[in-house]
A and B are shown apart, each in its own frame.
Chain A
């Protein structure tokens, strides 16, 4: 009897899990096929909240409860916390598109390593630079557009990265492939990454770009993209221009890509760290987001700062 149960269990696992030897989808020229429209919107927080320390994964029941509570809280007409907090939330929920579900793994953070789900502490050098940036922001928060965050200036969003992170809305991506290249169109803020796969070296060290310089290769069925040559101005989670980012895209099945990235910057972080954000199939189309088209917000922020100074 026990043996029958065991056999049944093995059979069940074999039938329900994608078999290791199962051929992945391939392009006509034989590369693993990542093409399609994808979204990384999720309500799972980037770092594990302190309240859930020691609780890396939710049970199904807890996940359902968390989704229900989060979505209800976001939909509620909350004025809690006073007018400053209300204004900080900007709108009611209708204007946002942040997803309504936790990641399928039910993890309580997108950061998967270190195991505590938190970005490691900055090195003394990394902390000193972060403090200097914070002091500069405090000293001149809005003297000119250069003082404002990159997103407000329509230069770079965390959605494009790299790494590519979910944000308030427009968390949509289209992946296209040609022999020798992978192309990622990012709805926010209509950025495009064109990643060569031919093994060419990175750009010279003195060439620095907002989105760095990316090179891809296939590791079995996984696309591995290494990006270097960042500027010292993006400061992803406290990183500086020494950041070396390794992204891994693995198509799990027809509806999901497992997207992972490893952050290496020994000058900024006390240890390397990794996050995983699933990208799931979504319906198109992707709309253009010409970020500076009507960016009245920038003018209003600067004129608001002048008005405050004259008070």
Chain B
């Protein structure tokens, strides 16, 4: 019985690993896995648009010049349900973005993770965020 239960649980963990993930489009076609980015910059604009929100930030280079980056986020619908809206990132907020740069070499990236300058995560995992479908 114990062995059988182990087999089932082992199966379950494989099942987790293979669960299908799907964003609106293929991120591997848009961004380059060979170009990971870590950026720190101040928010200049949030485009609260479908199918994905875009966060614009000014990133200062060591020489003092400023690069204007665009960071792709999730669907506004989901973010709104989680209590995030365009006012959650006011103009001037400094954020750190962890992601990958666009394949075409322009200053665009995906917002895999976003943290505030003090290290607080802006966006955390799903469970317990009060999103629809969360365990009560």
Contact = CB atoms under 8 A, between A and B. Distances in A.
Interface of A: 39, 41, 43, 45-46, 49, 51-52, 55, 58, 62, 65-67, 69-77, 82-84, 86-101, 108, 141-142, 148-149, 151-152, 154, 167-170, 172, 187, 189, 282-283, 287-298, 300-301, 303-308
Interface of A, helix, strand, loop or mixed by DSSP: loop
Given A62-B8, A90-B23, A304-B103, A39 B132 contact: yes
Given A41-B132, A90-B27, A77 B113 contact: yes
B41 to A, nearest CB: 19
A92 B113 contact: yes
Nearest to A70: B16
Contacts of A304: 29-32, 102-104
Given A87-B110, A306-B104, A297 B76 contact: no
B20 to A, nearest CB: 7
- B: contact size bracket: 35 or more
B134 A100 contact: yes
B22 A87 contact: no
Interface in B50-108: 50-52, 54, 70, 72-82, 100, 102-106, 108
Nearest to A282: B132
Contacts of B133: 39, 41, 97-101, 282
A297 B16 contact: no
B103 to A, nearest CB: 3
A52 B73 contact: no
A209 B123 CA distance: 40
The winner among B29, B49, B76 for most chain A CB atoms within 10 A is B29
